[in-house]
C-alpha cells in the first residue's frame, strides 16, 4: 500500500510521517540544485521533474515490496504543484502543458502512478503561521507562496477523490496508520482514464 501525506508548508506532513511511520517513510525531495528554470526552458524543467518524481515513485514501490507499506511525505506524482502555480499566475499555461504531457507519458508507461490513499490536511492562515513559528528548525522560505497555493491543492485532490472515491482522507489521522494499512491497494494506480478524467475535471473547476 502506498500512502501520500499532503498539505501546504507547515501543515505537519513531515512531523506526522516521522511520528507515525518512520520505518515506512519516503522523505520529500524539495528543491534541487541544477533544476532547469520553468520559465526559461519549460520542456527541460518538465523532463527533469518527471524524472525525479518517477524515481521517488520507484523508491515507494520498493518500500512497499519490502515492508508492505510506503508513506510518502508529499506526492511522487507532484503534478499538482505546477498546476497550482498556474492557477495563481506564477507559472504559465505553457509550463503547465509541458509538464502535464511529460507526466502523462510517464503515467502511461507506468513509471509513476496514483497512490492508494491521500491524507490531505487543510489549515487556516492563522494556524499555518503559528505552526511555522513553532518550528524554528525550518526556514520555509516559500511559506507565503504555499499559503496562496492551498485552494488549488485542495481542488486538485477533490478532483482525485471525484474520479477515485474513497482515495482521499481530509486529515492527517491522529491514530496514524491504524485503519489505513489494512485497506486493499488501488486497482487503478495506472488507470490513464482516471488520470485524464481528473485533469478534465480540473479544467472545468479552476479555482
Q: Evaluate the CA torsion angle 101, 102, 105, 107 in order and state its sign.
A: negative
User: What is the average pLDDT across 111-134?
Assistant: 82
Q: Between helices 93-108 and 192-204, what is the axis angle to 10°?
A: 160
Q: Give the total number of structural domains in the chain.
A: 1
Output the pLDDT for position 185.
60
**Percent above pLDDT 90 for the chain:** 70
Output the pLDDT for position 179.
78
pLDDT band at residue 207 under the 50/70/90 scheme: very low
- Domain containing residue 154: 6-204
Is 1 within the bounds of a domain?
Answer: no
Report which of 112, 123, 120, 207 is spatially closest to residue 161, judged by C-alpha positions: 120
DSSP 69: -
- Do the beta carbons of residue 80 and residue 18 sit within 8 Å? no
Output the pLDDT for position 87.
93
- pTM to 2 decimals? 0.88
Is 166 within the bounds of a domain?
Answer: yes
177: domain CATH number?
Answer: 3.40.50
Using one digit for the tens of pLDDT, what is the confidence trace for 58-105? 999 999 999 999 999 999 999 999 999 999 999 999 999 999 999 999
Using one digit for the tens of pLDDT, what is the confidence trace for 146-174? 788 889 999 999 999 999 999 999 999 99
Is 154 within the bounds of a domain?
Answer: yes
Using one digit for the tens of pLDDT, what is the confidence trace for 26-51? 998 877 788 899 989 999 999 999 99
Amino acid at each position: 500500500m502506498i500512502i501520500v501525506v499532503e498539505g501546504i508548508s507547515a501543515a505537519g506532513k513531515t512531523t506526522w510521517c516521522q511520528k507515525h511511520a518512520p520505518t515506512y517513510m519516503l522523505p520529500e525531495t524539495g528543491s534541487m540544485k541544477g533544476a532547469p528554470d520553468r520559465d526559461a526552458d519549460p520542456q527541460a524543467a518538465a523532463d527533469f521533474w518527471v524524472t525525479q518524481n518517477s524515481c521517488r515513485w520507484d523508491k515507494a514501490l520498493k518500500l512497499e515490496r519490502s515492508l508492505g507499506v510506503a508513506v510518502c511525505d508529499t506526492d511522487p506524482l507532484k503534478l499538482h504543484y505546477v498546476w497550482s502555480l498556474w492557477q495563481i499566475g506564477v507559472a504559465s499555461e505553457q509550463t503547465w502543458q509541458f509538464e502535464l504531457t511529460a507526466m502523462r507519458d510517464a503515467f502511461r508507461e507506468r513509471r509513476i502512478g496514483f497512490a492508494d490513499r491521500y491524507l490531505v490536511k487543510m489549515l487556516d492562515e492563522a494556524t499555518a503561521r503559528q505552526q511555522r513559528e513553532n518550528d524554528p528548525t525550518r526556514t520555509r522560505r516559500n511559506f507565503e507562496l504555499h499559503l496562496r497555493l492551498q485552494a488549488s491543492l485542495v481542488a486538485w485532490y477533490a478532483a482525485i477523490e471525484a474520479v477515485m472515491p474513497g482515495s482521499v482522507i481530509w486529515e492527517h489521522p491522529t491514530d496514524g496508520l491504524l485503519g489505513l494499512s489494512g485497506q486493499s491497494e488501488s486497482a487503478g494506480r495506472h488507470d490513464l482514464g482516471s488520470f485524464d478524467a481528473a485533469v478534465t475535471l480540473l479544467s472545468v473547476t479552476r479555482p
